[in-house]
Amino acid sequence: MSAIGSICLGNLRRRKVQNALIGLLLLLSTLLINTAITVITSSENLYEDLHRETRGSHELLKLTKGLHDPQRVQEWWAGQQGITVSSVMTYKSMAGIIHNGEDIPNLSLYMMSTPDQPFGTDELVFAQGQEAAHPEPGTVWIPTSLAYKYNVAAGDTLQFKAGDEPLQLSVSAVVIDLPLGGPFSTTARIWMNPADYQQDLSTVSVNNSYLMGIRFDDYSQSAAYWEQFEEFLGTPFMEERTTYEEISAFYFIMNKIIGFVMTFLGLVMMLVALYTIGFTISDAILSNYKTIGIFKSLGLSSRKIIFTYILQYGFLSLITIIPGLLLSRLLSGVIIELSLSFLKTDHSSVHIYSSDTELIVGAGILLLILLVVWVYAGKARSIQPMQAIRYGMSEAAHSRINRKWGEERRRGKEFEKWPVPVVIGLRNVTKNLKGSLLMLVLTTVTSAVLVFGLVLLNSIYQMQETSPLWGYDSSDVVVMVTNAAEFDHSSLTADIASDSRVLNLNWAGYAIGVAPASRTQASDPAGSRPQSVNIPLTVVEGSMDEIGLASISGRNPHNRNEISIGINISRKLNKEIGDVVELYIEKEKHSFTVTGIYQSIANMSNQARVTSEVVRNLSAETGYLNLKDSADSDDIVQQLNDSYGSDIQAVKQQTMLDSVFKEATAVLIIPMSLLGLLFLLITCLIIYSTSRIHIRKEIKTYGIYKSIGLTSNTIRSALTLGIAALAAAGAILGIFCGVYLLPGILRGLLSSYGIVKLPLLMQWTGISLLALLSITVAGCGCWFASRIIRSHSARILVTE
């Protein structure tokens, strides 16, 4: 056993660079894989635990059109066994909020008359401020999604556009509002004192709306309850209904994207590490062939020799996997803190769930490494002591090398007309095929990571250029009516029509369409029976084409009997272009022909578009302006806001998109930048190590080159150019993978969110620069490794 230990320690000492590199690869691959798993599982567990603790709703019902009696609806659900239903919550929908003199854009407000707590479902968690039964008079509670995003804290004053004069209320608490306060939310519940609600909002000419949450003891039975409920109503439920999948989806989307990227790249890095281990073991066996033959002749068995490699890499794995698992906790914490910051309070941080997965990931990686070591180290079984001592290799390999030397001498004449540096660089690449393949893979992966990160971040940051393919409009300015009772549509329309800078103006409103259970393929979570589907409708008064609403197939509806449906509605109803869809709108049955199918990240494509002729009581409260010159957007916005005061809120479309998606860029930029830097570092180190090994093997050859007049820098430049050419081929493959392969895989992940065609913007200048960066890093690794040529004289090199 002492002999095995001595050999193992000797291997660790002699190959410090290679062992350090392999250790770094194992650490980073462990870090990435465990971070990805931890981020995904922690996100889901954190949300589910909070959902359970707050008795979170599985469904939300919003009654805004007066089509059902809220009290009657609540009483029916409250009377069912296995159901928890909240009290009826009264609110008024508004828009327009000011903090520190700045308008907060693109935010719909539900001004709540706070009922007595507990609510029954969706209990509030206080993140800042003192917990109380109701907000104090003159104060409000606001959700973390509003507070953290716009730096609003307890004690600040907010102004609400609630009539001729703004309503000023101070923030007494910030609360976690689980169903309506998630990432990318464009709604916020503002919890008011009931007396303030009656007094301050009595003059606001907006009808009361009602909201209630439903929690099932067994969510899989929801379809059976809904069937009974609609039998009780005598009609399908005609108001808005939000399911658990829609409530929870956007808490997970960013972490799923990050987890996907990290898992994929962590597995690639692990494969590179395993290949490097196999390559290093094979090289070690060939380099020490004679030594192993001597060990065998002295009585050391093949099993013990193999065990020395298992012991060596087992030790190396343990001292790198454990730090990798510990570091993954820190990285996971940073990512989760960023992506789920809305679930954090002043007195508690976001909890990381990792202990079980860490053990499984660590043990799995260790077993995989030991298996690879055992397979590659098994080559030592075939070593015959006499052949090893005589030839330093097997007799068959010795004969093969002699034959190969003769063939190389004959082939050498083919390169006589080539420049000497080209021949040296080409020979360095072709003679070391395993190492060259490893370098090619590394530069491909590195380029793919860099390009994919750039394309993804740039596509989100520049979303305005592709906004129709994300389900949004492409207008220059959006006008949101904040005081419908006082606002004069005709006056604004006339003013805009007389403005020579404006190309067109179109209005849109909102309604609910219901596909009855008999016409739908949608089923409950257990998949046992169909359910009716409540579909939010975008109702356009004007031209959808002018607004810029796009379809991935077909066209926008032009007539009252036409409809365009989101991709997930198409799946639920099993409808394609040309099919007929039957919907109940305002308790009237309508038949529509599907003219288009579109994708939208909002509502996960669970929506549809119709013309205004279909809806009798349409409140068109959003206007879309296109300008002849988009550079006039700022002036138009300022002019409209000055002219119409608190009746409207005019903003640029870019401002609205930024209000939703800037947080996505902020969350993604840290992990994507980190991954890019890691792969650049790994590429440089592995190319350095591989080149160093090969240069040491060929050191006598380079001594001969120096003795016949070639300088050290000429030889080093030739070797570097050969590696750079190999890296250029890898960079080209990496660009293809980063532009097509990785987005294609990500598209599959986003399909359930309603995005089947990922709208990407190709910044070819940046892509080319990143590819050039990976080539430069590869060349630097080879250049640094070749310093040994410069530090040795030709005589010493030839002697060696």
219-273 pLDDT, tens per residue? Answer: 888 888 988 998 898 888 889 999 888 888 888 787 778 777 778 778 887 887 7
Each residue of 354-368: pLDDT tens digit? 667 778 888 888 898
6 vs 22 pLDDT, higher one: 22
Instruction: Mark whether 464 and 533 lie in a shared domain.
Output: no
Q: C-alpha dihedral over 100, 103, 106, 109, to 10 degrees?
A: 70
Instruction: Mark whether 343 and 200 lie in a shared domain.
Output: no
* Contact residues for 71 (Cβ-Cβ < 8 A; gap 6+): 88
Question: What is the model's pLDDT at position 695?
Answer: 80
Question: What is the model's pLDDT at position 526?
Answer: 47
Instruction: Mark whether 90 and 205 lie in a shared domain.
Output: yes
Instruction: Mark whether 649 and 728 lie in a shared domain.
Output: no
To 5 degrees, how large is the angle CA 454–CA 456–CA 458? 65
Tokens of 141: 């509670």
Question: What is the model's pLDDT at position 37?
Answer: 83
Instruction: Mark whether 518 and 638 lie in a shared domain.
Output: yes
Question: What is the model's pLDDT at position 113?
Answer: 92
Question: What is the model's pLDDT at position 398?
Answer: 45
Question: What is the model's pLDDT at position 165?
Answer: 74
Question: What is the model's pLDDT at position 712?
Answer: 79
Each residue of 291-302: pLDDT tens digit? 666 666 666 666
* Contact residues for 730 (Cβ-Cβ < 8 A; gap 6+): 439, 440, 441, 442, 443, 444, 446, 447, 774, 778
Domain annotation covers residue 392: no
Sorting pLDDT into bands at 50, 70 and 90, what band is 528? low
Domain annotation covers residue 165: yes
* Count of other CB atoms within 10 angstroms of residue 559: 13
pLDDT of 276 above 70: yes
Mean pLDDT of 703-714: 77
Instruction: Mark whether 452 and 326 lie in a shared domain.
Output: no
Taking CA atoms, 204 is separated from 194, 210, 322, 338, 773, in Å, by 15, 16, 62, 38, 60
Rounded Cα distance, 64 and 488, in Å = 22
Residue ranges making up the domain that contains 726: 418-469+657-800
| Domain endpoint, select from 600, 624, 656 | 656
Beta bridge partners of 169: 158
76: number of CA atoms within 13 Å, CB side?
15
DSSP 151-169: T--TT-EEEE--SSSPEEE
Question: What is the model's pLDDT at position 538?
Answer: 92
Each residue of 180-191: pLDDT tens digit? 888 878 889 999
Q: What single DSSP character describes residue 480?
A: E
Contact 451, 771 (CB under 8 A): yes
632 vs 522 pLDDT, higher one: 632
Instruction: Mark whether 608 and 730 lie in a shared domain.
Output: no
The reported pTM is 0.79
Domain annotation covers residue 791: yes
How far apart are the two ends of the chain, measured CA to CA in Å? 34
Sorting pLDDT into bands at 50, 70 and 90, what band is 385? low
Question: What is the model's pLDDT at position 567?
Answer: 93
The rounded mean pLDDT for the chain is 81
Q: Coil, helix or strand for 477?
A: strand
Domain annotation covers residue 402: no
Each residue of 82-100: pLDDT tens digit? 999 999 999 988 888 888 8
Each residue of 628-651: pLDDT tens digit? 888 888 899 888 888 887 778 888
Instruction: Mark whether 250 and 377 lie in a shared domain.
Output: yes
Instruction: Mark whether 162 and 311 lie in a shared domain.
Output: no
pLDDT of 395 above 50: no
Beta bridge partners of 649: 480
Question: What is the model's pLDDT at position 10?
Answer: 62
Domain annotation covers residue 499: yes
Instruction: Mark whether 21 and 152 lie in a shared domain.
Output: no
pLDDT of 122 above 80: yes
Contact 355, 252 (CB under 8 A): no
Domain annotation covers residue 409: no
Of 667, 499, 531, nearest to 245 by C-alpha is 531
Mean pLDDT of 437-441: 84
* Contact residues for 745 (Cβ-Cβ < 8 A; gap 6+): 260, 264
| Domain endpoint, select from 594, 622, 656 | 656
Q: What is the CA radius of gyration of the chain?
A: 34
pLDDT of 104 above 70: yes
Q: Which long-range contacts (CB under 8 A, 24 or more apart) does 99-106 make?
A: 99/150, 99/152, 99/156, 99/158, 99/159, 100/156, 103/641, 103/649, 103/651, 104/146, 104/150, 104/659, 105/649, 105/651, 105/655, 105/656, 105/659, 106/186, 106/651, 106/655, 106/656, 106/659, 106/660
Tokens of 464: 């305005």
Q: Coil, helix or strand for 383?
A: coil
Our count of domains for the chain comes to: 4
Of 480, 483, 479, 481, nearest to 164 by C-alpha is 483
Question: What is the model's pLDDT at position 640?
Answer: 87
Domain annotation covers residue 638: yes
Q: Coil, helix or strand for 398?
A: helix
pLDDT more than 70, % of the chain: 86
* Range ranked top by mean pLDDT from 154-163, 354-363, 515-524: 154-163
| Domain endpoint, select from 656, 671, 697 | 656
> 3-state SS of the chain: helix, strand, coil percent to 5?
60, 20, 25
Instruction: Mark whether 353 and 423 lie in a shared domain.
Output: no
Sorting pLDDT into bands at 50, 70 and 90, what band is 345? confident
* Maximum alpha-carbon separation in the chain: 103
Question: What is the model's pLDDT at position 405?
Answer: 47
Amino acid 12 reads: L
From 344-348, 506-510, 518-522, 772-776, the region with the lowest mean pLDDT:
518-522
Instruction: Mark whether 673 and 535 lie in a shared domain.
Output: no
Domain annotation covers residue 246: yes
pLDDT of 701 above 70: yes
